[in-house]
Amino acid sequence: MKTLKIIVVLGVLGGLGALGVLYSGWYPMGADVPHNRLTYWALETLRERSIARATRNIKVPPLDEPQMLLAGGADYNDMCTSCHLKPGKTESEFTLGLYPQPPNLALSAEAHGHAHGDADASDAAASAARQFWIIKHGIKASGMAAFGKTHDDARIWAMVAFLQKLPTLNEVQYQILTARSPTDLGHEDHEAAEAAPQAENAHAH
Ligand code: HEC
């Protein structure tokens, strides 16, 4: 009984202490000061657990159709490179100034530190579902917007398809795949679709 009392008193004091810290204004909110470890861990756990739960039932469509890559590439180039970069571009005002920092999606997941487990088929599907969800819904209190408010699922899956290829592209291949075709998603751009495979032999880097 006595121990229980002590635990309750400590719990109340802890709660008041936490509230005191919140109200004191002591916590630095500027994007140029990183979170302390505890806050970082809490926010990362909150984000990853929430996304894992939200993506459980997402069915990943086939992502290897050439017209998806072309539509997704053009959209990526228009809307995402200021934060997520592209082959030949290694930093921007946003990658230097945003916190959390947007990962460089032109690098592999291992390279930008967002790998999730081994790269077998189910992980590839899980990673595609995760990317789809993040692009559609965004991430609170980060620079990542919810593109689902302005883009339908097909367009978002096309960007996911492009993201799977992006880390393997050199600058020339990137330019060919991201050139905006006069028609949009759903209309094949034959010229670009035929040009893309040739770029593989264009040159290495
Ligand atoms: C204004 C900057 C900004 C723009 C523009 C932006 N993002 Fe992001 N994005 C972020 C930030 C910041 C994060 C990391 C959020 C975090 O860690 O909580 C992120 C995270 C992501 C992730 C998760 C990466 C991972 O492996 O964890 C994906 C996928 C993504 N963005 C895709 C896109 C796509 C596709 C576009 C364009 C349609 C886009 N983003 C546009 C800032 C941006």
Q: How many whole angstroms from 121 Cα to the centroid of ligand 1?
A: 23
Task: Give pLDDT, residue 180.
Answer: 82
Task: Read off the pLDDT band of 114 (50, 70, 90).
Answer: low
Task: Give pLDDT, residue 111.
Answer: 73
Please give the radius of gyration of the chain, using alpha carbons only, rounded to the nearest integer: 22
Closest by CA to 69, choosing from 166, 182, 170, is: 166
- CATH of region 65-191: 1.10.760.10
Q: What is the pTM of this model?
A: 0.84
Q: Are 158 and 131 in contact (CB under 8 A)?
A: no
Q: How many whole angstroms from 100 Cα to the centroid of ligand 1?
A: 10
60, with CB counted inside 10 A (0-12, 13-18, 19+), is: middle
Average the pLDDT over 181-198 and give the result: 49
Q: Is 60 exceeded by the pLDDT of residue 198? A: no
HSE-CB of 47 using CA atoms within 13 angstroms = 18
**Each residue of 68-102: pLDDT tens digit?**
999 999 999 999 999 999 999 999 999 999 999 99
Q: Is 146 in the pocket of ligand 1 (CB under 6 A)?
A: no
Atom in ligand 1 nearest the alpha carbon of residue 101: 12
Kindly state the tokens that stand for 51.
Answer: 């996304």
**Each residue of 115-164: pLDDT tens digit?**
554 456 678 899 999 999 999 999 999 999 999 999 999 999 999 999 99
Q: Is 103 in the pocket of ligand 1 (CB under 6 A)?
A: yes
d(CA 171, CA 27): 42
Residues with Cβ within 8 Å of 205's Cβ and at least 6 positions away in sequence, in order, are: 170, 171
Q: Are 27 and 21 in contact (CB under 8 A)?
A: yes
Task: Give pLDDT, residue 1.
Answer: 77
Q: Is 70 exceeded by the pLDDT of residue 193? A: no
Q: In the chain, where are the structural domains located?
A: 65-191
